[in-house]
Structure formats: C-alpha cells, structure tokens
Chains A and B, each alone.
Chain A
C-alpha cells in the first residue's frame, strides 16, 4: 500500500468504528469494546507506519477534487510532513491508551457504547485535522471535534455541573470559531485556494493583502480551541466530563489542535508582526495566570486543567517567537505526560473516592493503595515541572531557548519584544509550575490522617496504560531532541546552557519553597477535619468520579475551592489565593460584560415578540374571528331561517336576471 492509502485509512478506521459502535451498541453489546479499541490501535500502527515511511523527508501531498465548488475549490487533500506524521502518532497513542483505559474506567456505565463511539469519532476527526491539506476539510474535523467534546463533557448529564460545562465549552469554542471561519475565508480569498501548500506559497511570495486581520481572526479560533486567554474559561469547567475524556480531548489532542494549526500556517502569522506580539502577550498572560490559578485549585483535575492551559501557553509562546519545531516538540511531550497525569488522576479519584486535594491530604497511605498511579504520576509531575532528564525538560528548554535566541537577536522572524515577553513569562511560569506540581504531589500522596479507604485493586486496563505512557514521559525528550530537527524545520532543539540552568534552577526553587510551605502548614490538617468521599465506593471509577464532582460544591461551597488552611498554596499565594481559585473572576466579568447584556436583549426581544408582534397577530386574527362568530350565529338549526335566506337570495337573483334580460 502506498503511504497515501495508509494515511487515508488512519482517520477512516476510527470513523467506521464509531459508526459501527453506534449501530451495534444496543443490539450486540459484546462487540462494543473490540470496536472501540481495535480500530484505534490499528490507526496507531498505520500512523506509525506512515511516520516511518515519511521519515522526515519531503512532505507527502495528495489531493483529489470531488466536485467543483465555486470560485475557490475545495479538495480532499493530504499534506503529511514531519509535524503531521509525529502528531498523528501521538494522537493514535493517546487515543489507544484512553480507549483501553475507558474499558476499565466505564466498566459498568450503561452509556459506554455511545461514549466509546464518540471517542472514536473524535479520534477520527483529530486525525483528519492532522493529516488534512485543505483548510475546509480541516475545519470539518475541527468542528466534529468540538461537537464530540460537547457530548463527552456532558457524559454525566445527570449532574448540573456537567450540563453547564458542556454548554459552556460548546459556546465559548464557537465564539472563537466564528471569527476563525471568517479568517479562513479571508485567507482563501487572498490566496485563491484552501490548500495549505498553495497558501504557504502565496505567503512566501508576499501575496497576502491583509495579514494582520487574517492572523487575528484565525487567532480567535485558536484561542477558543486551545483554551488561551481570554477564551480559556471553558477548559477548567470541562473537567466535569469523565477523566479519560479529559486526558484525550482536554489535555493531549484537541486543545493542541489550535497550536498545531498555527504551526502549520506559521508563515501566515509571521507575515504580521502585530499578530506575533499579540500571540506572545496572549501566551504570557495565559501561562502566568493559569499557573497561579492552578496553585489555588482544590479539585485535582482542575489543577491539571489549568496546568494544561499553561503548557499550551508555552507552545503558543514558542510559536510567537517563530519556532514551530519547539512548539510541536513540547506538544508531543506534553501530550504524553499530561495524558498520563489525567489517567493517573482518574485512578487516584477512584481510589480516594474524592477529587478534592483537601480531602486527600487527610488520607494516610493513598500511595500504597495505588502504587502504579503513584510512580507514574511522580514521573509525569517531574516531566511537567521540567526537571532533567524527563521529557518535559527538553521540550520546555527548547521553547525557552528559542525565546532567548530571539531576545539576543539571532532570528529575523519574530520581534524581540515577543521574545522578552515569552522568556520572562516562561521563567515565571516555570517556578509556579514546579510549585503546583509539588503541591499536587504532596497533598495527594503525603496525606496524614485516617487510613485511605480500600476500594480494591484497580483494573489492569487502567494501570497498564499508565506505564505505557510513562515511557515517553520519561525518555522521549532525551532521545528526541537530536532526532526531531530532521523531521521539523531543521532548527536545533538541544537545550542551551543559560536557559537550562535558569529553568531548572527556578523549578527547583519553586519545588523547594512549596515543600517548605507544606511542612509549615501540614500540622494544621489534623486540626481541621474536612472532606467528603463518594457514597458508592464499590462502583466503577466513572460513577465515583461523577459523585465526587456532584458533591464538591455542596461539601466545600465551591466547585474549585476548599476552605482548607493546611493548603500550602494558600500560604504561598496569600491574598491572591481567593481570586486565583476563582480563575481571577473572569467568569464573573464575562457574566457582567456579555451574559447579562445578552439576556437583557433576549428579554427585550421576548417582550417585543409577546407584546408588540403578538398584538398585530392577534389584531389580524380578530376580524376573521368576528366573522366566524357571526357565521356561527347564523347556524341556528332553525330550518325556516335557512329557507328564508335561501328564498331571499332566489328573489334577488331572479330580479337581477329579469333586469339583465330586459336590459334595464
């Protein structure tokens, strides 16, 4: 088979699996699990084969136009370069792990067939986005991912949090997608094609008329999808979905699609210096703000969600300084270790019966209950905190190194201001990242108090994939930073001395300070009893998690916040803690700025419709109604009345006929 055929099969197989899963879900429940896992695994193998065959050489391009579609043609096009091949392998790996993990995680869930089919559909759409060489086809995958995300976040739709979160995720991403669509059209109009290769050719020859406008419009869609400030607010709430979904969609793949999109079209953005600076500011605000917020969250998954936002900020930062190699490098390593973090968090939530860090910090021996999760999570947290030699170190160093390059004026693509912004924010975030990683580890695994509840052994499907993902988290970076430049643009990704020392240093400082703060506050845990655990410890992990999410607000007063004085984050952040826990009140700001005016407008429209338009409608209906009443009155049932009317009419007609006949 040619590489093109293999590449076509990669998105097609999960799609067929999704269709078959939806069709057979009820009639043949025995086929659901194989149909969920096998196509995804096959796609992983095929994606790996495609990557090997492509091998970082010239991009594989293939296109077919199904039918003429007006002035700008839409083609079914493949464009597989090194980025696409490697990202597809990552998507396949994470999707396979998540599908296997889900068989254990949603063991007893009655809606598992539709869940698995939606995950397969999502995987297929992500492959489509990765491989597509045509922007409209890419947009199709982009929107399918959005709708799958909506359904999967709302998987526990019995809980109001999940319902609200799925709606919010859908609406906020759509808010970005509308300008995104307009930007795509503007771009295609300028370039005369939706094909990525042709657009890049146009950009190279300087044929773009409005680069800043197009770049900013596209940036809105990217900000929505990749949860960048100011459209990031949906991602923490989306943690109301099942943990495997958070791992796949809201950590490793879908949110990375925005970064991947910019990476593909980086020359378009580079054509506008303003867009690059906006991108840099966006990345910096996202990084620093999300890291602060992560330090204050009580829900373990929300910590990871804010951490995801921050790491995506690193990637956009790398793009802002014009190096897509570093961005995609970080995307790949982050995809592996963040998926691992989420899946391990799912195991921990199941074992502890709660998603609250405050409650976990009051449990002894949680790590002995889940040794697999403990070790793999430690690895992943070290990778997150960018401690050498874990993979996160190398990818983050690549980002910081590029920023430093730009600051020192070694490249001509990006403005130096962007470099400064990214570098400073990146170092600041490195401190905070290490701090919240340390806090998470300490609170989850170093709790003291009552014995952690025994919920039995975790299913094998859930623990094995943790180790599978731990391998790349541990070793990917060290092996890859020398190999990857061949696949990417060829720029060096090896860590530079200055940024390595700086980055590792600040990370260590962050970790040590957090440890000190924890030592200081941990004595308080015994004095302040706190916490609630799920009511059905024997249920499968999904049920435990749904109950934990639903009970967090009644138990602690807020979905993100717990009044725990023993939290080291409280000591570290001081007065900032309350605002950071609430995501710096961005939701409240949006409520005042957008939701209330829209609701007021809606009630105005409703008033106009009810009182004004309806009045006209009622007025128009009144005349026929009166006529109808009059006619009904005539139906007396009295035969004589009828005959009178009949004869009166006859007389009138006869007289008329006589008059006409006599010519009068």
Chain B
C-alpha cells in the first residue's frame, strides 16, 4: 500500500475508494477463498445443528461450527481469540451442554419431536431477518476491504496490551460477574435439590431406622 493511500485511509470515504482502486471489485485472494470455504462448512454445520433430530449429534455439529469459527478467527489474524474460542467453547461449553443433555435424559438417537410446532413461524422470521441483515450488510460494506497484511491485529501481545492497558476495569468487573454467575448457579441447583430432598431425606431417615 502506498503512503498516499495509507494517509487517505484516515477518512472513511476516501479509504474505500482508495481500497477499491488497489484491489478491484472482484479479486479473490487465497485467504478469501479459504475463508469462503471454511465459512460454508461452518454455516452448513450450524444449519445441521439447528435441524438435526438427534440431540447429541446437534452438540457434535455445534463443535464443528465453533471450530470453523475458530479457523475464521485465525484467517482474520485474531489468533488469541481463536484459541480462546477453542478452549472455552469447544472445550468447556459443549462439554457442559453434553452433560446437560445427559442429565435431562435426552433420548439418544432420532427423536421425532425435536422441533416444536413453531417451526414455520420460526423459519419465516429467520429467513426474513437473514434477508434484511444480508441486504443491509452487503449494501453497506460492498466496497470495504480488510487489509490483512502487516503484523497480526489480534496477536496475543496486541490483545494483552490492549486488554490490560485500556480494558482493566471492565475486565475486573467481568470477573465479579463470573463470580456472581458461579454463586447463582450453585444456589439454583442447591435450592432445587433442597426442595426435592425434603421428602427424600425423610425417606432415607426412615430407611436407616428400618435398617437398624
């Protein structure tokens, strides 16, 4: 990129025009092709996730989707976020979801009633929302390019520097929120258990007495 062009990037209007001049309207690069292919896989996996009749498969397809997204983050040079994505989502959230499925005794195999009767309304709303969003996004950013050259924008160093220089306070607040969520989850499960355990506790008491 020329110096004049990079100087022109300061203002939004000239930036896009300058970028258009450098790249041309349709000039697929290798990164773009990779992004597109991985994106297709991700989208397809997401579709399967929300439509499959096998609940455990849905969780597994969700892994594919989230992994695909991690690859997209890498392609966008946000490597730290990509690894966080893999660690937290694929590593813990999906495992939690699987545990949830097991605990609620979700049927293994095809369940005929995985979709509720709201299916068609949901489809209509989703398609309408997708049409509106895609139209707006394409209309707004059809002449905008991301420059992926140079140092990675989301390297661990850059992310850490920004996080601990500019975002310390929200970061700390977030830790408090996580604590609150932790306590909340414990309270929720404990309270439900206490309610359910009151007659059960009496039963066990009687059982032990009977055993004696």
Q: Indicate whether B187 reaches chain A with its CB closer than 8 angstroms.
A: no
Q: Does A502 contact B (CB under 8 A)?
A: no
* Cβ–Cβ < 8 Å partners of A644 in chain B: 118, 121-122, 125
Provide 10 A-B residue pairs closer than 8 Å at the C-beta atoms, listed in order of the A residue. Answer: A638-B118, A640-B118, A640-B122, A641-B118, A647-B125, A648-B125, A651-B125, A651-B128, A655-B132, A658-B136
Whether, in the assembled complex, B116 has its beta carbon less than 8 Å from a beta carbon of chain A, the answer is yes
Is there contact, CB below 8 Å, between B118 and A647? no
Q: How far is the CB of A57 from chain B (nearest CB, A)?
A: 102
Residue B104, interface by CB 8 Å: no
Query: Which residues on B sit within 8 Å (CB–CB) of A647?
Result: 125, 129
**Does B2 lie at the interface of the complex (its beta carbon under 8 Å from any beta carbon of A)?**
no
A-B contact count (CB 8 A): 25
A647 to B122, CA, bound (A): 9
Q: Cβ of B136: which chain A residues have Cβ within 8 Å of it? A: 658
Chain A hits for B128, CB < 8 A: 648, 651
Query: Distance in Å from the Cβ of B118 to the closest Cβ of chain A?
Result: 5
Min C-beta distance of B4 to chain A, whole Å: 32
A644 to B121, CA, bound (A): 7
* Residue in B118, B121, B122, B132 whose CB lies within 8 Å of A651: B132
B44 CB, min distance to chain A CBs, angstroms: 23
Which residues between 61 and 83 of chain B lie within 8 Å of chain A, taking CB atoms? none
Q: Which residues of B contact A (CB under 8 A)?
A: 116, 118, 121-122, 124-125, 128-129, 132, 136
Chain A residues near B129: list those with CB within 8 A: 647, 651
Specify the chain A residue showing the minimal Cβ separation from B126: A647
Provide the bound-state CA to CA distance between A655 and B136, in Å. Answer: 9
B122 to chain A, nearest CB (A): 6
**Which residues on the B side are within 8 Å of A651 (C-beta)?**
125, 128-129, 132
In the complex, whether A654 has a CB less than 8 A from a CB of chain B is yes
Residues from chain B with a CB closer than 8 A to the CB of A638 are: 116, 118
Contact A648 B132 (CB under 8 A): no
In the bound complex, how far is the Cα of B171 from the Cα of A271, in angstroms?
110
Known: A640-B116, A647-B125, A648-B125. 20 other contacts (CB 8 A): A638-B116, A638-B118, A640-B118, A641-B118, A641-B121, A644-B121, A644-B122, A644-B125, A647-B129, A648-B121, A648-B124, A648-B128, A651-B125, A651-B128, A651-B129, A651-B132, A654-B132, A655-B132, A658-B132, A658-B136
A654 to B132, CA, bound (A): 8
The docked-state distance in angstroms from the alpha carbon of A533 to that of B118 is 86
Main secondary structure of the interface of B (DSSP, over half): helix
- A411 CB to closest chain B CB (Å) equals 102
The distance in angstroms between the C-alpha atoms of A658 and B121, with both chains bound, is 23
CA of A658 to CA of B116, assembled, Å? 32
Question: Chain A at the B interface: mostly helix, strand, loop or mixed?
Answer: helix
Nearest residue, chain B, Cβ from A647: B125
Contacts of B124 in A (CB 8 A): 648
Please give me the residue from chain A that is nearest to B127 by CB atom: A651
The chain A residue sitting closest to B128, CB to CB, is A651
Q: Which 3 A-B pairs have the closest CB atoms?
A: A640-B118, A644-B121, A648-B125
CA of A654 to CA of B134, assembled, Å: 13
Q: Which residue of A lies closest to B118 (CB)?
A: A640
The CA of A231 and the CA of B129, in the complex, are separated in Å by: 85
CB-CB under 8 A from A641, the residues of chain B are: 118, 121
Smallest CB-CB separation from B129: which chain A residue?
A: A651
Report how many residues on chain A are interfacial, defined by Cβ distance under 8 Å.
Answer: 10
* Distance from A638 Cβ to chain B, minimum over Cβ atoms (Å): 7
Beta-carbon contacts of A645-664 to B below 8 Å, as 1s and 0s? 00110010011001000000
Contact partners of A640 in chain B: CB under 8 A: 116, 118, 122
Chain A residues near B118 (CB-CB < 8 A): 638, 640-641, 644
Shortest C-beta distance, B13 to chain A (Å), equals 17
* In the bound complex, CA of A658 to CA of B124 (Å): 20
Which chain B positions have C-beta within 8 A of A655?
132
Digit string of A620-640 for contact with B (CB within 8 Å is 1, else 0)?
A: 000000000000000000101
> CA of A654 to CA of B137 in the docked complex: distance in angstroms?
13
Smallest CB–CB gap between A661 and chain B, Å? 10
CB distance from A646 to the nearest CB of B (A): 9
Contacts of A658 in B (CB 8 A): 132, 136
Cα A539 to Cα B116 in complex, Å, equals 84
Q: How far is the CB of A652 from chain B (nearest CB, A)?
A: 8
Q: Which A residues lie within 8 Å of B122 (CB)?
A: 640, 644
- How far apart are the CA atoms of A638 and B122 in the complex, in Å? 13
Nearest chain B CB to A656 CB, angstrom units: 10
B200 CB to nearest A CB, Å: 30
Chain B's nearest CB lies how many Å from the CB of A662? 8
How long is the Cα–Cα vector from A647 to B116 in the complex, in angstroms? 17
User: Counting chain A CB atoms within 10 Å of each CB, which of B122, B124, B125, B129 scores highest?
Assistant: B125
Q: For the complex, what is the distance from the CA of A658 to the CA of B133, rounded to whole Å?
A: 11
Bound together, the chains give a CA A658 to CA B137 distance in angstroms of 11
Interface centre among A640, A648, A651, A654 (most CB of B within 10 A): A651
Q: How far is the CB of A663 from chain B (nearest CB, A)?
A: 13
The residues of A that contact B125 with a CB separation of less than 8 Å are 644, 647-648, 651
Within the assembled complex, what's the spacing in Å between the Cα atoms of A640 and B122? 9
In the complex, A262→B128 CA distance in Å? 92
Chain B residues, Cβ within 8 Å of A654: 132
Q: How far is the CA of A271 from the CA of B125 in the complex (A)?
A: 93
Q: How far is the CA of A651 from the CA of B125 in the complex (A)?
A: 8
CB contacts (< 8 Å) of A648 on chain B: these are: 121, 124-125, 128
A658 → B minimal CB distance (Å): 6
Bound-complex Cα distance A651 to B135 (A)? 13
CB closest residue in chain B, given A650: B129
The distance in angstroms between the C-alpha atoms of A520 and B142, with both chains bound, is 132
* Smallest CB separation, A93 vs chain B (Å): 89
A49-69 Cβ-contact flags toward B at 8 Å (1 or 0): 000000000000000000000
Residue of B nearest to A646 (CB): B125
Binary B-proximity of A6-38 (CB < 8 A = 1, otherwise 0): 000000000000000000000000000000000
What's the least CB distance linking A326 to chain B, in Å? 99
The smallest C-beta distance from A575 to any residue of chain B, in angstroms, reads 91
Closest Cβ of chain A to B90, distance in Å, is 28
Nearest CB in chain B: distance from A247 CB, A? 83
| Complex alpha-carbon distance, A655 and B130, angstroms | 12
- By beta carbon, the residue of chain A nearest B139 is A662
CB distance from B127 to the nearest CB of A (A): 10
Nearest B residue to A640 by beta-carbon distance?
B118
Cα–Cα, bound, A654→B116 (Å): 27
Docked CA distance A256–B88 (Å): 109
CB-nearest residue of chain B relative to A662?
B139
A647–B118 Cα distance when bound, in Å, is 13
Query: A590 vs B39: C-alpha distance in the bound complex, in angstroms?
Result: 100
Least CB distance from B163 to A in Å reads: 32
In the bound complex, residues from chain A placing their C-beta under 8 Å from that of B116 are: 638, 640
CB distance from B123 to the nearest CB of A (A): 10
Q: Roughly how many angstroms separate A594 CA and B195 CA in the complex, as a whole number?
A: 78
- Complex Cα–Cα for A647 and B132 (A): 12
A654 to B121, CA, bound (A): 18
B128 nearest CB across to chain A (Å)? 5
**Hey, what's the 0/1 contact readout for A402-426 against B, CB within 8 Å counting as 1?**
0000000000000000000000000
Interface string of A223-246 (1 = CB under 8 A from B): 000000000000000000000000
Q: How far is the CB of A269 from chain B (nearest CB, A)?
A: 88
The CA of A655 and the CA of B139, in the complex, are separated in Å by: 13
B125 CB, nearest partner CB in chain A, Å: 5
Give the Cβ gap from B138 to chain A, nearest Cβ, in Å.
Answer: 13
Complex Cα–Cα for A644 and B122 (A): 6
Q: What is the CA–CA distance of A80 and B129 in the complex, to the nearest angstrom?
A: 96
Chain A's nearest CB lies how many Å from the CB of B143?
16
A541-583 contact mask (Cβ, 8 Å, vs B): 1 or 0: 0000000000000000000000000000000000000000000
Minimal beta-carbon separation of B150 from chain A (angstroms): 34
CB distance from A302 to the nearest CB of B (A): 83
**Bound CA span A654–B129, Å:** 9
Closest A residue, CB atoms, query B132:
A655
Minimal Cβ-Cβ distance residue in A for B122:
A644
